[in-house]
Structure 1
Amino acid sequence: MALNHRGQTYAIETKPAPYDEDKSNNSYAEKDHFGGGVVGHQQQQSHNGEQSGYLSAAAVITCEPSAVGGANICLESVGEEDEEGVRKVLHMGEGDILSTQGHLVVETPHIDTIADIPEHDYPEATPVRGRKTKKRTPGDYVVKKIKTESGVEIEKKVKIYSQRYRKAWQRLPECRGWLRMGSTMERAHCSVCNKELTAGKSELLKHAATKKHQRRMELAAAGQLGGAGAPVEDADMPVMRPSVMEGTPHHTVDLRSDTVTYPSIKMKEAMFRAPMGDDVFGEDPTVKELEKKIASLLGKESALLVPSGTMANLICVLTHCWTRGSEVILGDQSHLHVWAQGGMAQIGNVHHRALKNLPDGTFNLMELKSFVRGDDPHWPVTSLVAIENTQNMIGGKALPIRWLDELGTVCQELGLPLHCDGARLLNASVAVGQPPSRLVKHCQSIAFCINKGLGAPMGSLVVGSKEFIDRAIRVRKVLGGGLHQAGMFAAAGIYALEHVAPRLAWDHTHARAIAQGVKEMHSSAVTVDLKEVQTNMVLLHTDNIRVNAKKFCERLAMVSDDEAEELDEQTIVMMLPITDTVVRCMTHCALTKSDIASVVKKLKYVINEYDSLVFLEYKIEVGQT
């Protein structure tokens, strides 16, 4: 067991083990399925000669420190029947367990550190069902007997590492043709059975010997396995990703962003037939048409096509902040502040100052006024205020119309231009029920994306007055953003405006359906706030004890054997961890109702797995020094 300072928190996750009612054969040695050390618990004789139990599961110690004081022990099945076991393991007396209603809270003032839980309470595991079990100590080491060159047998502590996939296994006669790496380095994948397997040689050989696998290998060799084909004999072929699994029905639903879509056939036809010219010389008619449409949509004079949203924002900032030493005031959760690599400083010598974003995506206007610099030569010159609508990092919030009007008034009083990062402005328009031009009424520049939500393969537009766009063309040139025959991309944008934009409300409905499915679980491991779902974005919050954001996304991106059998489908769901505890899920135009139904089913199954990890929490008192 890894020992650390008192007052820290550790998680001990468990894998269920069978419990013998007659208490005559309760010894457990289950392999860790989360990557921690393994501890076996056995029944022992009490001092009065009667049988008394420890826990009815093998504890797997992961030692993940938490931000709170005390210590957490995660157990999969702890109830009143396990009180005696909890007392035994923690050496507690009567009355120490405060609650056993699923969430046990245990006070242990007599334990100063986790090291005070004696090691002899975790006896050596004994063989289960006749299998040979190696001796293990609590923690991450296994004791092995080895012979030296002189023939003397000695014991040596060897660190236990989690089993990892080895490409050399593909050359084994039993594994040739079907073995691939799975969703992680600790998983393997059978391409004919379409199953995720534990990456261990013995486990793979056991799978290869099953009748089901051998039958499917015969069918694959005969070309009768739908879609799988014959086993591949080249053991050095590239590793297959789960998203191209063969065999039984499966599909991947990508919810990492609304930029993961591909052009539809009709959009491609529009791109193919688009008249083109050289846009750098201002001669591309399709580009001119798109720019005119966007400028009219947002109620501005002119627009300029550029390759990306990041470039569109940077062009707007540099066009406003024409001199060195300028400063931009923006929100601390805005895309310009968090995700743009500080481009305005790197390239434009522009400083920026961040206001704290409120939960609805706005910021305090009085604080904004206090941030405006005076004429002191020691300070940069405040030259621009920037907002984002919708707010990405705050869950796709649409900024309130009233606040936008108040902000416009304040900026006018201060003599400062207002820029809007409107990458998903049409989503905000649908959410608040107002035309896009109303949302940017007070803005002097807008960055508008056609590849986020609208499904075009690339492109954004800088929108503003004619004078502003004339200067923006110069900035676009120095950034390398001039496109020559850009008409095909402009045609995709025109098609998206006419055919995809009218159905954005469906994306919002799909997002709410996913959030509703998670909410119905009443989970404490993974939660969602339905009131926060306004557009096509859902933020899921993990408890960081049973699961964090990264592990949750990794689990969604794989399919276990039990899951495939129980759900009768294999769905890979891809989401994005944006913090340690927050997962972002974004719906888009490529999704169908059946996709959403599969996502909800998958989420409920996975969340139920984590909810079954009931956790035991006990406090460690820190003594006076």
Structure 2
Amino acid sequence: MSQYSSLSNSLGPVVADLRSDTVTKPCTAMRAAMAEAEVGDDVYGEDPLVNRLESSLAERLGKEAAVFVPSGTQSNLLGMLAHCGRGEEVIAGESYHVIRYEAAGASVLGGVALQALPVAQDGGLDPSAIASAVKEEDIHHPISRLLSLENTNYGRAVPLARINAGVEAGRALGLSTHLDGARFFNAITALGCSERELAAPFDTVSVCLSKGLGAPVGSVLLGPVDLMTKARRMRKMLGGGMRQAGILAAAGLFALERNVARLTEDHQRADALAAHLRALDIGPVTQATNMVFLTPVPGVDLGGLAAYGIATSAPDPACRMVLHRDIDEAAFAHVLSAFDAIAAQRGAA
């Protein structure tokens, strides 16, 4: 079953939605910022808050320019299409979103080949595998053009040394580089590095605003002016040009200004949840940044969590649980109590 399963199995009001950090809702202050936003027509380049969002995030990450888009899928797609022409190739990890969860858009819409590589335990790619994947100049092969990495990957913050080694291997063979940084700020929080340090190795970077940062909509693609000009044209072709988008940009600015530092709370709660589950001994547990993965042992029915108002992904074989800003202390305590009850039911069976 997909990790993006619905709430259809819920038996009542949802107390804690752990399916993803995409389920966060704008807080009252963010809604006020959206309601008061000064707007203009962004397709004409006249929306002041969109312009501010793009320029301020580009400055923070050390990039020349940026393009605000509706989704992370579109941001990654625009990045790949800006780098690659038809018959060219993107090299990426087989579990990375650009290959597994974005409907092969680069292939379907851009005629771009996707080459999948094994992903290491730390979420990175082996430099030798990257080098081996680059095609020699031959009419029988696509032209290897772009290396696309991901950070975080299944919650794992890929170390800078691994990132840099992969980028160096790709660049030595003429590849451009892209980072799917959907959870970019979770990565820098876990790695203890600066925004510029994580962004620096890459020509283009995609950053999502609607996951842990809590904005309702939007991602930003960043990179050099020439590639962002191409991406903006592609955005128009894909129907991603938005008009008075300052209402959405206001949420993104609010999130960037107020919600980055608090990501440590999500990571700490994920760590605490993992420790609690290990103590209950109901299955193997792994945890990274704001994500916890539990593979229930026979006799543990996680479907029963719905009766306690807790929504999770279906085990496949692991159940992914994501901590986020809408899981406060009360909701978190409820989650721990619900797992205590599930564990007790196993013991009574």
TM-score of the superposition, structure 1-length normalised? 0.53
* Residue 574 of structure 1 pairs with residue 337 of structure 2: no
Structure 1 position 468, deviation (Å): 1.0
Counterpart CA distance in 2 for 1:611 and 1:376 is 62
Corresponding residue pairs, total: 342
Of 28, 42, 45 in structure 2, the residue corresponding to residue 279 of structure 1 is 42
Question: Which whole-Å deviations, capped at 9, do the CAs of 1:51-88 have from their partners, x for residues lacking one?
Answer: xxxxxxxxxxxxxxxxxxxxxxxxxxxxxxxxxxxxxx
Of 272, 295, 303 in structure 1, the residue corresponding to residue 66 of structure 2 is 303
Alignment match, 1:607: 343
C-alpha contact 1:517 1:604 (8 A) present in aligned 2: no
**Percentage identity across aligned positions?**
37
* Residue 522 of structure 1 pairs with residue 243 of structure 2: no
Structure 1 position 492, deviation (Å): 0.4
C-alpha contact 2:47 2:244 (8 A) present in aligned 1: yes
Question: Which whole-Å deviations, capped at 9, do the CAs of 1:353-405 have from their partners, x for residues lacking one?
Answer: 1110011101211111111001110111101111110002xxx0001111122
Counterpart CA distance in 2 for 1:371 and 1:381 is 11
Alignment match, 2:295: 541
Mapping 1:110-189, distance limit 5 Å: none
Alignment match, 2:131: 369
Structure 1 position 243, deviation (Å): 3.2
Tell me the amino acid that sits aligned with residue 528 of structure 1: V
| Residues 342, 490 of structure 1: alpha-carbon distance in 2 compared, 3 angstrom cutoff | same
Paired residue secondary structure (2:295): strand
Mapping 1:419-568, distance limit 5 Å: 419-523=178-282, 526-529=283-286, 533-543=287-297, 545-547=298-300, 552=302, 554-558=303-307
Of 242, 260, 272 in structure 1, the residue corresponding to residue 11 of structure 2 is 242
- Name segments (4+ residues, structure 1) moved above 6 Å: none
C-alpha contact 2:130 2:166 (8 A) present in aligned 1: no
Of 330, 350, 359 in structure 1, the residue corresponding to residue 121 of structure 2 is 359
Higher helix proportion: 2
Alignment match, 1:211: none
Alignment match, 2:330: 594
C-alpha contact 1:389 1:422 (8 A) present in aligned 2: yes
Question: Which whole-Å deviations, capped at 9, do the CAs of 1:220-277 have from their partners, x for residues lacking one?
Answer: xxxxxxxxxxxxxxxxxxxxx6334xxxxxx611010001111111101111111100
C-alpha contact 1:279 1:485 (8 A) present in aligned 2: yes
C-alpha contact 1:513 1:596 (8 A) present in aligned 2: no
C-alpha contact 1:397 1:535 (8 A) present in aligned 2: yes
Counterpart CA distance in 2 for 1:538 and 1:370 is 33
Structure 1 position 409, deviation (Å): 1.7
Alignment match, 1:292: 55
Alignment match, 1:26: none
C-alpha contact 2:125 2:162 (8 A) present in aligned 1: no
Tell me the amino acid that sits aligned with residue 48 of structure 2: P
Alignment match, 1:387: 149
Counterpart CA distance in 1 for 2:140 and 2:343 is 54
Counterpart CA distance in 1 for 2:158 and 2:253 is 26
Structure 1 position 420, deviation (Å): 0.5
Counterpart CA distance in 1 for 2:95 and 2:116 is 9
Paired residue secondary structure (1:390): coil
Counterpart CA distance in 2 for 1:611 and 1:359 is 33
Tell me the amino acid that sits aligned with residue 588 of structure 1: H
Question: Which whole-Å deviations, capped at 9, do the CAs of 1:571-622 have from their partners, x for residues lacking one?
Answer: 311111262x110000111121121111011012113323555xxxxxxxxx
Structure 1 position 324, deviation (Å): 1.3
Structure 1 position 303, deviation (Å): 0.6
Structure 1 position 408, deviation (Å): 2.4
Counterpart CA distance in 1 for 2:31 and 2:117 is 42
Which has more radius of gyration? 1
* Residue 313 of structure 1 pairs with residue 76 of structure 2: yes
Question: Which whole-Å deviations, capped at 9, do the CAs of 1:197-229 have from their partners, x for residues lacking one?
Answer: xxxxxxxxxxxxxxxxxxxxxxxxxxxxxxxxx
C-alpha contact 1:424 1:449 (8 A) present in aligned 2: yes
Counterpart CA distance in 2 for 1:333 and 1:607 is 31
Question: Which whole-Å deviations, capped at 9, do the CAs of 1:137-161 have from their partners, x for residues lacking one?
Answer: xxxxxxxxxxxxxxxxxxxxxxxxx
Of 6, 22, 26 in structure 2, the residue corresponding to residue 259 of structure 1 is 22
| Residues 611, 337 of structure 1: alpha-carbon distance in 2 compared, 3 angstrom cutoff | farther
Of 317, 321, 325 in structure 2, the residue corresponding to residue 585 of structure 1 is 321
Tell me the amino acid that sits aligned with residue 600 of structure 1: L
C-alpha contact 1:278 1:284 (8 A) present in aligned 2: yes
C-alpha contact 2:128 2:169 (8 A) present in aligned 1: no
Counterpart CA distance in 2 for 1:467 and 1:363 is 28
Alignment match, 1:408: 167
Counterpart CA distance in 2 for 1:269 and 1:434 is 32
Tell me the amino acid that sits aligned with residue 573 of structure 1: I
Paired residue secondary structure (2:22): coil
Counterpart CA distance in 2 for 1:466 and 1:414 is 24
TM-score of the superposition, structure 2-length normalised? 0.95
Alignment match, 1:150: none
Paired residue secondary structure (2:145): strand
| Residues 417, 376 of structure 1: alpha-carbon distance in 2 compared, 3 angstrom cutoff | same
RMSD across aligned positions (CA): 1.5
C-alpha contact 2:77 2:106 (8 A) present in aligned 1: yes
Structure 1: gaps of 5 or more residues: 1-182, 185-240, 245-250, 559-570, 614-625
Counterpart CA distance in 2 for 1:339 and 1:522 is 32
Alignment match, 2:3: none
C-alpha contact 1:327 1:353 (8 A) present in aligned 2: yes
Tell me the amino acid that sits aligned with residue 356 of structure 1: P
Question: Which whole-Å deviations, capped at 9, do the CAs of 1:510-547 have from their partners, x for residues lacking one?
Answer: 11111111011123xx2213xxx23111111123x435
* Residue 338 of structure 1 pairs with residue 109 of structure 2: no
Paired residue secondary structure (1:577): coil
Paired residue secondary structure (2:124): coil
Structure 1 position 351, deviation (Å): 0.8
Tell me the amino acid that sits aligned with residue 289 of structure 2: T
Counterpart CA distance in 1 for 2:89 and 2:117 is 13
Counterpart CA distance in 2 for 1:612 and 1:425 is 43
